[in-house]
């Protein structure tokens, strides 16, 4: 059975909930990512913040990204457990239209799964099938 742990990339770095959106944006730039998990000091996942969140919910509303905190944008959070099977991961990503899925173990962030991770899981023969990739892409990008 393929699990979330098998296809995730580990070492996902969090932005602390008390850090500013400016800090989060600079972390995204430096790491070359479009989203960051928001964690508390105990590494417990509090939310996830995307570039789009910063633009639409801060800058476009005339707010100051240096003054606004990352936790202010943390909303409802979807995640999977490290031992969840691939089918569960794909179902949650498709159902909630999530392109970046945090992976937790013992209530702490241990990794992230992105569309790229799914594609690499397929390429590296880690058990992601052609049909799973097709179904995922169809559900995420084709309007029904």
Q: Which tokens belong to 130?
A: 């052609």
| Architecture category of domain 4-141 in CATH | Roll (3.10)
Is 70 exceeded by the pLDDT of residue 97?
A: yes
125 pLDDT tier (thresholds 50, 70, 90): low
pLDDT digits (tens, 9 = 90+) for 22-62: 999 999 999 998 889 999 888 788 899 999 999 999 999 99
Predicted confidence at residue 113, as pLDDT, reads: 92
Cβ–Cβ under 8 Å, residues 59 and 21? no
**Whole-Å CA distances, 116 to 29, 33, 63, 75, 122:** 18, 12, 32, 24, 10
Predicted confidence at residue 127, as pLDDT, reads: 66
Could you tell me the residue ranges of all domains in the chain? Answer: 4-141
Is 80 exceeded by the pLDDT of residue 129?
A: no
pTM of the model: 0.81
């Amino acid at each position: 059975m393929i699990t979330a742990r098998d296809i995730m990339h580990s070492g996902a770095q969090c932005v602390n909930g008390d850090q500013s959106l400016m800090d989060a944006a600079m972390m995204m730039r430096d790491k070359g990512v479009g989203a960051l998990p928001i964690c508390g000091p105990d590494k417990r996942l509090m939310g996830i913040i995307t570039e789009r969140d910063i633009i639409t919910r801060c800058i476009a509303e005339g707010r100051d990204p240096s003054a606004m905190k990352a936790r202010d944008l943390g909303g409802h959070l979807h995640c999977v457990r490290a031992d969840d099977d691939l089918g569960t991961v794909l179902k949650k990503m498709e159902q909630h239209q999530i392109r970046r899925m945090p992976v937790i173990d013992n209530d702490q962030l241990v990794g992230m799964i992105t569309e790229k991770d799914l594609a690499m899981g397929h390429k590296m023969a880690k058990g992601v099938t052609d049909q799973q990739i097709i179904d995922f892409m169809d559900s995420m990008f084709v309007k029904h």
